[in-house]
């Protein structure tokens, strides 16, 4: 079924269309949620909340852009809100400490599988993880990330640089020692 | 390009990532969607039910001639107790008849033998040949106890006033958890001739005639947007360009959280029909005024002045000839404000239905004379009646507190412009407004004068000057004109003009 037709049917409240839309996008969206959270259970929580929001706001979707991108955006925002709720006072989400990790300008080739790479990203401190996902994967600019997270553009930039360096180190180690599972003391 | 290689690889790898969610997730999503939609539907129908009930109630109340209104009116009228002085007695009209029948009765001395205590009473104002108003303060002689009868009942009759989830994220573990004028004619007080001073020959014809109460019941007066989907940046869509910030800013500027941020600029109309309703909270201020329904309303000054001599103060006034009626004081437009909440339900792409509930404060300002309290000397238990004499000593603000249920249709000739029009049922919750008696120039409170329920026409335009996702702020002019009279005796209705601002979400 054409996506527009699918949306139309969903707006009419047809459960079958809603299920079809869910089946179409849920796997990709769960992967998005997975990258922003620390566990699959958390990821599924975000997925559930994100889809409820998407279905209830479906009439706001304009057929100008890709439906998947629209839902993805909802998932990302839901994930960010989820993190803010879950770690309200957790320094893990504090983006002010930029003294821990060196900056790397390397551009190593990534031979890891997607799942392995995602697992490494998830092992980053939550703040690093969030900024890395927003910048490297979603493609937000640092200015946009600053607005989203309530931090300065410079903080986003420096935090990203450190997250990147840390991740590269882990990737290199992981490729050298494939059996090593965790690098963040978790 | 070299330095973005890592990000490109990460993006590509993450684009390949897929996980199959467990079954309970969909069950929970489905349950939550259904629950929220049912709640919305319930709220919508509840609101319409209230509107219908309100409308039906208003219609019924307006269509019912109420005998109690008569009693209420008569009880409310400022009645002049006959007062006597050793030399003269001035009897003022007991009822605020249309012409006032300002007949002065001069009487012989009161029965001195039975006259006992005296009480200073404010006499009704008397019009002189020059139109001056005078207030006579005289010592009144109470009749003998045996002759003391009261205008009982009348003052006591009173009509009762119209009474007026988001599902917890833990849901995953659970569900995946899962209102007629009844006083058309003269509204006489049930004054009996045997009221205090009955043994005194009185020429107070108005008072004696007043026993014939006619109650003519009038028939009820008609009675998000640009799916800021940042598709180019989505991993599924291909290659984002980390570092190419400046080129991507516009397309991916993050907005408010969640859905609103993902809304797209208005474009494709085909999904609008099923759009659920939105809320709109609004408030406004302006000016309200009394307007006449057309020619023929009374604000007359059809005076046949007398050729009187000394005037007003007490004794020996020559009778006024002809009929006299005081000019109705002007009620100037005054401040008004309103606030409420609307449920906006799109009927089509450009047309929407707006059902609202709101509070509307209306007021007018008029000039009144001195505040006076008249104490009935007849009955000890008689409560004091208060009124304002004719004059322009102070400004009095007539205030009306109404509850309104507007139902309007909105048309959007432009995405940012909405023209609205409709009708509103209103219910007068409380008022302190003064009724004016042309006969004696008094202004006094009389709840029975005001129509409790009414219907008015509404219209307006608003311009949406801020919009973010589904939320928007708008402002524009609003007009309201009462279709049904508010003031029963004159048939005057309210009009309102003002500015209104609203927040839609």
Residue scoring higher pLDDT (B418 or B320): B418
- Same domain, residue pair A101 and A69: no
CA angle A184, B4, B5 (to 5 degrees): 80
Say how far apart CA B193 and CA B201 lie, in whole Å.
10
CATH code, domain with A76: 1.10.1740.10
Residues of A in contact with B4 (CB under 8 A): 107
- Same domain, residue pair A124 and A159: yes
Res. A142: pLDDT tops 60: yes
- Contact call for B271 and A139, based on CB within 8 A: no
Q: What is the mean pLDDT of chain A?
A: 82
Reference B71, options B164, B153, B163, B185; nearest CA is B153
Say how far apart CA B84 and CA B106 lie, in whole Å.
10
- Same domain, residue pair A104 and A136: yes
Q: Which residue has the tokens 């002045």?
A: B305
Which of these three, A86, A110, A141, is where a domain ends?
A86
Give the model confidence (pLDDT) of B234-272 as tens digits. Answer: 333 333 333 333 333 333 333 434 555 554 444 444 444
- Same domain, residue pair A68 and A111: no
Q: Is B175 on the interface with A (CB under 8 A)?
A: no
Residue scoring higher pLDDT (B405 or B436): B405
How many residues comprise chain A? 186
- What is residue A123's DSSP assignment? T
CATH code, domain with A149: 1.10.10.10
Which of these three, A54, A86, A118, is where a domain ends?
A86
pLDDT confidence band for B302 (50 / 70 / 90): very low
Q: Chain A, 80-139: which have a CB under 8 Å from a chain B CB?
A: 80-82, 105-110, 112-115, 117-118, 121, 135-139
Chain B: closest CA distance from residue A185 (Å)? 23
- Same domain, residue pair A45 and A123: no
Which of these three, A69, A86, A103, is where a domain ends?
A86
Tell me, yes or no, whether A186 lies in a domain: no
Tell me, yes or no, whether A184 lies in a domain: no
Residue from A43, A139, A148 whose CB has the most chain B CBs within 10 Å, to mutate: A139
The counts of H helices and E strands in chain B are 7, 16
Mean pLDDT of B274-292: 82
pLDDT confidence band for B423 (50 / 70 / 90): very high
Tell me, yes or no, whether A103 lies in a domain: yes
> Rounded to 5 degrees, what are φ and ψ at B207?
-70, -40
Res. B348: pLDDT tops 70: yes
Tell me, yes or no, whether A149 lies in a domain: yes
Give the model confidence (pLDDT) of A172-183 as tens digits. Answer: 887 777 655 555
Residue from A18, A39, A54, A64 whose CB has the most chain B CBs within 10 Å, to mutate: A64
pLDDT confidence band for B396 (50 / 70 / 90): confident
What pLDDT score does B225 carry? 38
What pLDDT score does B61 carry? 63
Is the pTM here over 0.90, yes or no?
no
Give the model confidence (pLDDT) of B334-345 as tens digits. Answer: 889 889 999 998
- Same domain, residue pair A165 and A94: yes
- Contact call for A141 and B249, based on CB within 8 A: yes
Tell me, yes or no, whether A62 lies in a domain: yes
Q: Which of B8-12, B54-58, B131-135 has the lowest mean pLDDT?
A: B131-135
Tell me, yes or no, whether A185 lies in a domain: no
Say how far apart CA B94 and CA B81 lie, in whole Å.
8
Tell me, yes or no, whether A140 lies in a domain: yes
Q: Is B247 on the interface with A (CB under 8 A)?
A: no
Q: What is the mean pLDDT of chain B?
A: 61
Give the model confidence (pLDDT) of B179-228 as tens digits. Answer: 333 333 333 334 443 444 334 333 343 433 433 333 333 433 333 333 33
pLDDT confidence band for B170 (50 / 70 / 90): very low
Q: Which of A12-26, B96-110, B388-402 has the lowest mean pLDDT?
A: B96-110
Reference A182, options A122, A106, A101, A109; nearest CA is A122
- Same domain, residue pair A142 and A167: yes
- Same domain, residue pair A12 and A80: yes
Say how far apart CA B193 and CA B184 lie, in whole Å.
24
What pLDDT score does A180 carry? 52
Mean pLDDT of B421-450: 81
Q: Chain B, 98-137: which have a CB under 8 Å from a chain A CB?
A: none
- Same domain, residue pair A156 and A140: yes
Beta carbons within 10 angstroms of residue B4's beta carbon: 17
Measured between CB atoms, which of A12, A47, A114 is closest to B13? A114
- What is residue B293's DSSP assignment? S
Cα-only R_g, chain B? 34
- Same domain, residue pair A81 and A34: yes
- Same domain, residue pair A106 and A68: no
Count up the domains in chain A and report the number. 2
Q: Which of B312-326, B362-376, B445-459 has the lowest mean pLDDT?
A: B312-326
Q: Which residue has the tokens 């800021």?
A: B228
Mean pLDDT of B396-422: 89
Tell me, yes or no, whether A181 lies in a domain: no
Say how far apart CA B115 and CA B369 lie, in whole Å.
32
The fraction of chain B above a pLDDT of 90, given in percent, is 9
Say how far apart CA B360 and CA B287 lie, in whole Å.
11
Can you give the residue range of the structural domain that contains A111? 89-176
- Same domain, residue pair A104 and A170: yes
């Amino acid at each position: 079924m054409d996506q527009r037709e699918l949306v139309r049917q969903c707006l009419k409240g047809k459960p079958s269309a809603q299920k079809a839309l869910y089946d179409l996008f849920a796997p990709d969206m769960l992967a998005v949620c997975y990258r922003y959270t620390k566990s699959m259970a958390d990821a599924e929580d975000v997925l559930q909340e994100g889809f409820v929001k998407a279905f209830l706001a479906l009439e706001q979707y304009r057929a100008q852009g890709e439906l998947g991108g629209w839902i993805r955006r909802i998932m990302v925002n839901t994930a960010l809100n989820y993190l803010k709720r879950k770690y309200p006072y957790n320094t893990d989400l504090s983006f002010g400490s930029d003294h821990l990790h060196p900056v790397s300008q390397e551009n190593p080739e990534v031979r890891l599988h997607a799942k392995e790479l995602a697992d490494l990203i998830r092992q980053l401190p939550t703040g690093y993880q969030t900024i890395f996902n927003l910048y490297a994967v979603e493609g937000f600019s640092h200015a946009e990330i600053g607005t989203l997270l309530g931090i300065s553009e410079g903080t986003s930039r420096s935090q990203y640089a450190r997250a990147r360096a840390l991740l590269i180190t882990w990737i290199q180690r992981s490729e050298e020692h494939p059996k090593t599972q965790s690098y963040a003391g978790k | 390009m070299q330095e973005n290689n890592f990000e490109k690889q990460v993006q590509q790898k993450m684009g390949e990532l897929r996980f199959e969610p467990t079954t309970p997730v969909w069950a929970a999503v489905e349950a939550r969607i259904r629950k929220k939609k049912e709640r919305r539907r319930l709220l919508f129908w509840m609101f319409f039910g209230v509107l219908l009930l309100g409308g039906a109630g208003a219609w019924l109340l307006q269509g019912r001639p109420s005998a109690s209104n008569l009693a209420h009116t008569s009880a409310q009228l400022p009645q002049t107790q006959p007062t006597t002085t050793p030399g003269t007695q001035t009897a003022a009209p007991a009822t605020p008849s249309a012409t006032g029948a300002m007949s002065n009765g001069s009487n012989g001395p009161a029965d001195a033998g039975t006259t006992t205590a005296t009480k200073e009473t404010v006499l009704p104002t008397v019009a002189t040949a020059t139109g001056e108003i005078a207030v006579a303060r005289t010592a009144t002689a109470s009749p003998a106890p045996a002759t003391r009868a009261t205008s009982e009942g009348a003052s006591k009759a009173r009509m009762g006033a119209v009474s007026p989830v988001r599902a917890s994220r833990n849901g995953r573990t659970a569900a995946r958890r899962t209102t007629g004028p009844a006083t058309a004619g003269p509204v006489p007080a049930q004054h009996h001739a045997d009221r205090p001073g009955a043994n005194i020959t009185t020429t107070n014809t108005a008072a004696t005639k007043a026993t014939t109460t006619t109650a003519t019941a009038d028939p009820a007066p008609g009675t998000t947007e640009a799916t800021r989907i940042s598709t180019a940046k989505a991993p599924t869509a291909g290659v984002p360009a980390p570092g190419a910030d400046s080129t991507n800013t516009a397309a991916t500027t993050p907005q408010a959280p969640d859905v609103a941020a993902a809304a797209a600029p208005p474009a494709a109309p085909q999904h609008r029909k099923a759009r659920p309703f939105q809320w709109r909270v609004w408030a406004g201020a302006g000016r309200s005024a009394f307007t006449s329904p057309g020619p023929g309303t009374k604000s007359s000054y059809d005076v046949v002045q007398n050729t009187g001599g000394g005037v007003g103060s007490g004794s020996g006034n020559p009778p006024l000839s002809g009929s006299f009626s005081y000019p109705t004081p002007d009620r100037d437009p005054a401040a008004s404000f309103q606030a409420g909440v609307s449920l906006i339900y799109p009927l089509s792409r450009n047309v929407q239905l707006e059902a609202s509930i709101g509070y509307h404060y209306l007021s007018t300002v008029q000039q009144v004379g001195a505040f006076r309290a008249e104490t009935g000397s007849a009955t000890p238990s008689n409560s004091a009646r208060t009124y304002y004499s004719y004059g322009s000593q102070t400004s009095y603000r007539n205030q009306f507190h109404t509850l309104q249920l507007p139902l309007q249709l909105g048309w959007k000739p432009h995405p940012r412009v909405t023209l609205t029009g409709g009708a509103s049922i209103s219910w007068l919750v409380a008022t302190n407004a003064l009724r004016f008696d042309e006969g004696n120039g008094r202004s006094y409170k009389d709840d029975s004068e005001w129509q409790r329920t009414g219907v008015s026409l509404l219209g307006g335009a608003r311009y949406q000057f801020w919009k973010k996702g589904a939320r928007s702020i708008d402002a524009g002019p609003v007009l309201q004109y009462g279709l049904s009279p508010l003031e029963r005796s004159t048939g005057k209705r309210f009009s309102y003009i003002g500015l209104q601002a609203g927040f839609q979400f």
